[in-house]
Chain A
Amino acid sequence: MTNDGRWASEEAQAAPPIAKQPDSPGAWAFASVLALIAAYALYGSFDFPIEIRRWPLGLSVVILLCVTIYAVQQAILVRQSGEPEFMHPLAEPPTEYRLYGTVITILATAGFVLFLIGAYLLSFLLATMLFLPAYMVAAGERRPMMLAGVTIGMLLAVWLMFGRLLNAPVETGLWVSLDWLFY
């Protein structure tokens, strides 16, 4: 896909291959975290009897080995990318993964977490009533009819599909209970 979300034409797809570039430091950091998790799993596996130790132990070793190979691969690519002979027509990173996009994603995820906390404390219905318009406004939706319509529509859907059809206690939170809605 191109940066505006559209698919490249057939001719563009037939373009010459782009030389491999080293990954971003973020990817290295993520791989390091995965290696730490694998090391922890490897260490923890020694507490288990042999029958249930083999599998997590083997997997942890595979992850650690692969991260090591990945690190070597990246080191070679970093070295090669510095050489003048090495062609590296670096493609621009996709729009959604630039810094601005990452910040927005983090903020949106924080919003999802707040919704979940709200649902736990205030009930799913109240949390939905607060989260939907708040998110839409924050994301740039300004039409009052749209905000009201989507919120009411979703509240009805939550109440009907989850509350009535699946008998989920969508009206009950730790602090608030809207039991009367069901009677």
Chain B
Amino acid sequence: MIDSYLEAGRIILQFDNLFYAVLGFLVGAIGGAIPGVGGPLVLTLMMPFTIGMSAEAAMILLIGGYTGGQYAGSVPAILINTPGNSSSAAAVFDGYPLAKQGEAVTAISVSATASGIGSILGGLFLIAIAPVLVQIVLLFGSPEFFMLAVVGLAVIVTISRGSLIKGLISGALGALVASIGTSLIRAQPRYNFGIAELYDGINLVAAFIGVFAVAEMMRLASQEGAIASALSTTGSRIKGIWWTLKEWVTLLKSTVLGIVLGVVPGEGGTVAAFVAYGEAKRSSKEPERYGKGHPGGLVAADAANNSVISGALVPTLAFGIPGSNQAAILLAALMLHAVRPGPAMFDQDIVLTYTMILAVIVGGIVTLVLGIGLAKQLGLLSIVPTPILVPCVIVVSMLGAYVVAFNWMLTVQALLFGVLGYTLIRFGFSVVPFILGLILGPLAELNLNRTYQIAGDQNVLWFILQRPLSAIMAVMVVFLLLSEPLRGKVQLSRLLRRGGGETARERR
């Protein structure tokens, strides 16, 4: 193991790879700092550029982008009260009041320090649990992997925004779309409508570009002007670092919360940031100052938001189940480089796994240095007008889809997925289950088929339930799918009772 870490360390310390880490951070930060663009979109657009790189270099670049995007989302949250991405929403509560008090740069500095330390501690945590993860992964066979894919979908469907039924439709649709093309099990095409280009199936990069970039630009197209017109850029970087270090208990607690909640697939960043913020406020000696510009609130939100990266990498690397949108993109990029996440990541691809873990730590260090250094410059990106942003992103998106295989069909796929993604969002169907369905669909089908083969004459459901790990996961799926409707029913009955009560009072 030590040899693998040394090899990974040697790879990451190469000049080229350090350059990719910084470049990735900068590109991710630029995207993250523009509200409406956000980290996943930029990460998707970066993916085609990794084609000529080694898998290690590609991951260093993309993890740099992931770290940059997570951190920079807080910059517009602090400066203009509008987060760059949903996981930075909790930074608004204390970041924006601080900016209004003339401490904009101090607040960005707090955010960068907390984000950087959160990433570094998260990376160290991954190093610590890697040996345990290896042992856990080895317990999984085909039935367990099938159930895990189902659990992944169930978790995402349950916690993603919107109704459970719509989430299920969205997830199943994603998995169904993923079955287009030649089957992995038997070399026979499915649903290709006689189109030769569809024999290879849906291209994940094109699909991601469509759902994340094109769909978002379609939405932004109807917005006029820039998101903000003026910025406050006063305050002190040193004061920001000091304020963060003074809140070290909150910093550590929020980092742990971020890692733990990041492991749960779905929107870990948003949930983790809000939970960490709530906990910081609850345990603070001066909770009344939270929401009015308390550095502790900002430290909690950003440390949790960035340590989520490490948490999200756990299911991504170990089981091929992404812990977040960005982790889903990393997964697609791994597949682009012929690397299949799962047990192999802790066997023949162990150096790549450790390189990715170290890349998170390097990302944290880059956040500390560049995040604090570029505090003012990143803020300026919030004022890019949408009439300029939209066509530029579309040009890069279409070219990005094209260069994956120099195939026009992929640009058409990206556009069609864009329309589908926009329509899903427009009518309240979350795109997160759809994306996860696209990724997990083939994995689930392959393992289901293997389970059928292993089960032989036995009933496959009974065979799955006989295995303790699979049975536990089956119970989890049932619990997850039933918990939401039951909670909704309780809320609705409360609401109706209150409504009925008010109507009765009105009658009196």
A interface list, Cβ under 8 A from B: 5-7, 9-10, 17, 19-20, 23-24, 26-27, 30-31, 34, 37-38, 41, 44-45, 48-49, 51-52, 54-56, 59-60, 62-63, 66-67, 69-70, 73, 84-87, 95-97, 100-102, 104-105, 108-109, 112-113, 115-116, 119-120, 124, 128, 131-132, 135-136, 139-141, 146, 150, 154, 157-158, 161-162, 165-166, 168-170
Asked if residues A6 and B445 are in contact (CB atoms below 8 Å), the reply is no
Asked if residues B499 and A5 are in contact (CB atoms below 8 Å), the reply is no
9 more CB-based (< 8 A) A-B contacts, given A26-B427, A112-B218:
A17-B491, A30-B423, A56-B191, A70-B165, A85-B503, A87-B495, A115-B395, A124-B398, A124-B399
Contacts of B423 in A (CB 8 A): 30
A61 to B221 alpha-carbon distance, docked (Å): 36
A3 to B449 alpha-carbon distance, docked (Å): 48
Asked if residues B165 and A55 are in contact (CB atoms below 8 Å), the reply is no
Q: Quick one: which of A10, A52, A86, A135 contacts B499, CB cutoff 8 A?
A: A86
Contacts of A136 in B (CB 8 A): 387-388, 391
Asked if residues A169 and B406 are in contact (CB atoms below 8 Å), the reply is yes
The answer, yes or no, to whether B385 is at the interface (CB within 8 Å) is: yes
Q: Quick one: which of B51, B183, B219, B399 contacts A170, CB cutoff 8 A?
A: B399
Asked if residues A146 and B89 are in contact (CB atoms below 8 Å), the reply is no
Chain A proximity of B76: nearest CB distance (Å)? 10
Contacts of A52 in B (CB 8 A): 183, 185-186, 188, 190
Asked if residues B408 and A120 are in contact (CB atoms below 8 Å), the reply is yes
Asked if residues A66 and B168 are in contact (CB atoms below 8 Å), the reply is yes
Contact with A along B182-209 (1 / 0, CB 8 A): 0101101011000000000000000000
Asked if residues B165 and A168 are in contact (CB atoms below 8 Å), the reply is no
Task: Give the residue name and chain of the A residue nearest to B220 (CB).
Answer: A96
The answer, yes or no, to whether B52 is at the interface (CB within 8 Å) is: yes
Chain A proximity of B23: nearest CB distance (Å)? 12
The answer, yes or no, to whether B240 is at the interface (CB within 8 Å) is: no
Chain B proximity of A106: nearest CB distance (Å)? 9
Task: Give the residue name and chain of the B residue nearest to A170 (CB).
Answer: B399
Q: Quick one: which of B222, B396, B429 contacts A100, CB cutoff 8 A?
A: B222
Asked if residues A150 and B388 are in contact (CB atoms below 8 Å), the reply is yes
Contacts of B499 in A (CB 8 A): 19, 85-87
Task: Give the residue name and chain of the B residue nearest to A137 (CB).
Answer: B387
Chain B proximity of A124: nearest CB distance (Å)? 6
Asked if residues B175 and A59 are in contact (CB atoms below 8 Å), the reply is yes
A169 to B385 alpha-carbon distance, docked (Å): 30
Contacts of A67 in B (CB 8 A): 169
Asked if residues B427 and A131 are in contact (CB atoms below 8 Å), the reply is no
Q: Quick one: which of A5, A24, A51 contacts B186, CB cutoff 8 A?
A: A51
Please judge, given known A-B contacts A23-B427, A109-B419, whether A55 and B179 are in contact too, CB under 8 Å: yes
Asked if residues A66 and B185 are in contact (CB atoms below 8 Å), the reply is no
A20 to B391 alpha-carbon distance, docked (Å): 37
Asked if residues B448 and A116 are in contact (CB atoms below 8 Å), the reply is no
Contact with A along B205-216 (1 / 0, CB 8 A): 000000000100
Chain A proximity of B441: nearest CB distance (Å)? 8
Chain B proximity of A166: nearest CB distance (Å)? 5
Q: Quick one: which of B77, B169, B426 contacts A97, CB cutoff 8 A?
A: B426
Which residues from 134 to 184 on chain B have a C-beta closer than 8 Å to any C-beta of chain A? 163, 165-166, 168-169, 172-173, 175-176, 179, 183
Please judge, given known A-B contacts A51-B449, A87-B495, A105-B219, whether A112 and B166 are in contact too, CB under 8 Å: no
The answer, yes or no, to whether B20 is at the interface (CB within 8 Å) is: no
Task: Give the residue name and chain of the B residue nearest to A166 (CB).
Answer: B403
Chain B proximity of A136: nearest CB distance (Å)? 5
A124 to B394 alpha-carbon distance, docked (Å): 12
Asked if residues B52 and A166 are in contact (CB atoms below 8 Å), the reply is yes
A63 to B165 alpha-carbon distance, docked (Å): 9
Contacts of B386 in A (CB 8 A): 139
Contacts of A131 in B (CB 8 A): 391, 394-395
Contacts of B191 in A (CB 8 A): 41, 44, 56
Asked if residues A30 and B427 are in contact (CB atoms below 8 Å), the reply is yes
Chain B proximity of A54: nearest CB distance (Å)? 7
Contact with A along B408-426 (1 / 0, CB 8 A): 1001100100110011001
**Most chain B CB within a 10 A radius of its CB, from A26, A95, A105, A124:** A105
Task: Give the residue name and chain of the A residue nearest to B36 (CB).
Answer: A5
Contact with A along B66-94 (1 / 0, CB 8 A): 00000000000100011100000100110
Q: Quick one: which of B166, B387, B444 contacts A141, CB cutoff 8 A?
A: B387
Asked if residues B390 and A135 are in contact (CB atoms below 8 Å), the reply is yes
A95 to B396 alpha-carbon distance, docked (Å): 27
Asked if residues B49 and A166 are in contact (CB atoms below 8 Å), the reply is yes
A157 to B51 alpha-carbon distance, docked (Å): 18
A63 to B172 alpha-carbon distance, docked (Å): 6
Task: Give the residue name and chain of the A residue nearest to B187 (CB).
Answer: A52
Contacts of B426 in A (CB 8 A): 26, 97
Contacts of A113 in B (CB 8 A): 415
Q: Show 18 A/B contacts (Cβ-Cβ < 8 Å), sorted by A.
A: A19-B499, A38-B173, A41-B191, A44-B190, A49-B186, A49-B188, A51-B186, A52-B190, A60-B176, A85-B496, A95-B223, A104-B222, A108-B221, A109-B418, A109-B419, A116-B411, A132-B395, A146-B388
Asked if residues B173 and A7 are in contact (CB atoms below 8 Å), the reply is no
A124 to B396 alpha-carbon distance, docked (Å): 10
Task: Give the residue name and chain of the A residue nearest to B49 (CB).
Answer: A166
**Most chain B CB within a 10 A radius of its CB, from A31, A55, A66, A87:** A55
Which residues from 275 to 305 on chain B have a C-beta closer than 8 Å to any C-beta of chain A? 291
Asked if residues A10 and B427 are in contact (CB atoms below 8 Å), the reply is no
Asked if residues A85 and B500 are in contact (CB atoms below 8 Å), the reply is yes
Q: Quick one: which of B35, B168, B188, B394 contacts A48, CB cutoff 8 A?
A: B188
A150 to B393 alpha-carbon distance, docked (Å): 12
Asked if residues B227 and A5 are in contact (CB atoms below 8 Å), the reply is yes
A10 to B294 alpha-carbon distance, docked (Å): 14
Task: Give the residue name and chain of the B residue nearest to A38 (CB).
Answer: B176
